[in-house]
Chain A
Amino acid sequence: MKITRNILPSIAILLAGVAPLAIAQTPPTPAQQRRAAMAAKQAEARAATPYKSAEIMSLGTPKLVEILKDANATEFAKAKACQRLAVVGDKTAVPALAALLGDAKLSHYARFGLEPISDPSADAALRDALGDLEGNLLIGVINSIGRRKDPKALDALAKLMHGDDHDVAEAARAALGRIRGP
């Protein structure tokens, strides 16, 4: 019995020492690996970009447009530029923002910048994009047109409402409701 009493605590101490070791050596799950890879990629992109987030958020429209046109600017920098343009942007930013509406990763940010610009050229840019896009990117543009309540888009939206893509048709129906509604 005495031996048992002495051995059991020893085993417990041994296990207590091994358990953290075992946990520490557990390989990361696929999800953890993906998150780590994504974080590393984002950090690398931010370190590589010549434009820093805080700097971008203090720039005026001309500099922000330069970033959007800069082939070396990262997607992150362009996205931040669009966010900043949503606050300070004017009609001079519309062409550069419109050029991103077909970009799968930046289309949302382009609309982010375009929606608050009160100049009619922003409406025209969104209307022009209706014929060039499909799927979710088209739905996004339709949603932005609805939010801006652009009456010149009524005919184009009516056509889309009767198109083959059910989701696009639903978006067009909702946009028409917003434009014609109160």
Chain B
Amino acid sequence: MKNTRWRGGFLSILMAFAMLLAFAGCSSSGGGSDGKNASTAGGAVSDGKESVILAITGEPSSLDSADANDLNTFSIQCNLYDGLIRQEKDGSLVPGLAESWSYNDDKTEITFTLRQGVVFHNGDPMTADDVVYSFERALASSATARITASMEKMEKVDDSHVKLTLKYAYGPIESCLANVNCSIVSKAAVEADAKGFARNPVGTGPYKFSSWDSGSKIVFTANEDYFRDAAAIKTLTYQLVTDTSAALIALESGDVDMIVSTQAADRENIKNNSNLFYDEVSASSFYFVAFNNTKGLFAENPLLRQAVAHAIDREACLLGAVEGVGVECPSPIPAPCFGCPEGFEGAAYDPDLAKQLLAEAGYPDGVTITIKTMESGVYAKVTEIVAEQLRQVGITANIEPMERTAFLSDVYTNCEYEICVNSYTALNPDADFIMYMRYHSDYLGGGNNFVMVNNPELDGYLETGRTSSDDAERKTAYLNACELMKKEAVMVPILSTMNGVACQANLKGVTANTSQKQYVYDYYWE
């Protein structure tokens, strides 16, 4: 019996330990890497410091540019590779490995003049063959589908020219070409070891791959032969710190130099810390409530969808889920994206109207629904607030929090849900990336259009948005699409979060990025 009593004590100690670990886990992992001069939180003078330790909360899925399709992976790879076109940290598009380019008359062919004298990390010169090979690889990979959907083929014209043929004129093609998926890789290196390329990449970017210690850290070193001159930061270490609170403490103690994706609750604290620099920008992603528009309760009953739309108070969601650090998202196109309708108003928060709609929908005594969502972070919080708001109008919402892979399989792949809370991210800040494949009937079900909306009118707007090269026309098309989706209550957009970055105050050149990219090439110590 004594034993049992101790087991109780042991459990409580275990719990306390778990909490302590969450805080302390970083201190053992951060220090002592790569001969870095341990900087103190006091912002000591960093004369001659040439390394940066950047805390990441998750490892990249791969370091192969043709096998990347999430923001975290992009943000790391953008330091390894260059594309023909380069995106600056302010979002502007400038020549990268191509010195210049020109379109044909109907904008379906682009001819690039390649930069001469660029070498890969392994010393080989970059040639037109490498460019063609890189695009062939990217086009063949399923991971790049969202970026390369409009591209037909890449051909070599001569040693310094290549020609890209498009399936149709595509407005945001240049931002696609600046995406990591369209990076130029060394043909020789891939052919030498195609499988090993994901963990031993060879590109032309400002940093070369040095080592990857799974579950711990990834180290890059500056490419001294970089065509824009070598970077000021010579050693770049990505340190894996899965817990965001632990990452912040590591930053405060100087164990890491920079953290990305800061927690909203920590924002004030970071801002008030004179040793730290903080920057934030609205993310190109948004959280929303989605209905299954083809099968189940909400598909059969549009009034019920309307009732939910009017029961949701975006302001309360923004406050409760992310401390108000973000913006309300009235339309399905987040603010940083081209095509976001300015001054658009989403379904108004009106609980009385919602109750009335619920009664009209045939449920005067309320209805019980099950909301599926992911169990982590903002998803769970938004869902909890939404469920409470629905309860206020008479809809009993049971929450089914799911583990990420189970959620992806149930909701994205199999569309087995009636209502869910989810988020979309525009890989490039253009409405096409967050609209076409999500709501066009060509992509119904199976991982893309999982809200299962099938509306010819909407299809038309999305097609115009994708193929028109007239900005005004595209904007109008997206405005119409947003209006239509609001009218049909296809889904209920709620909020966009802020992407926050924090670093030591004497690390300069750091800015928050809509797509969470960190261009370490621009960083330097002062």
A binds B: no
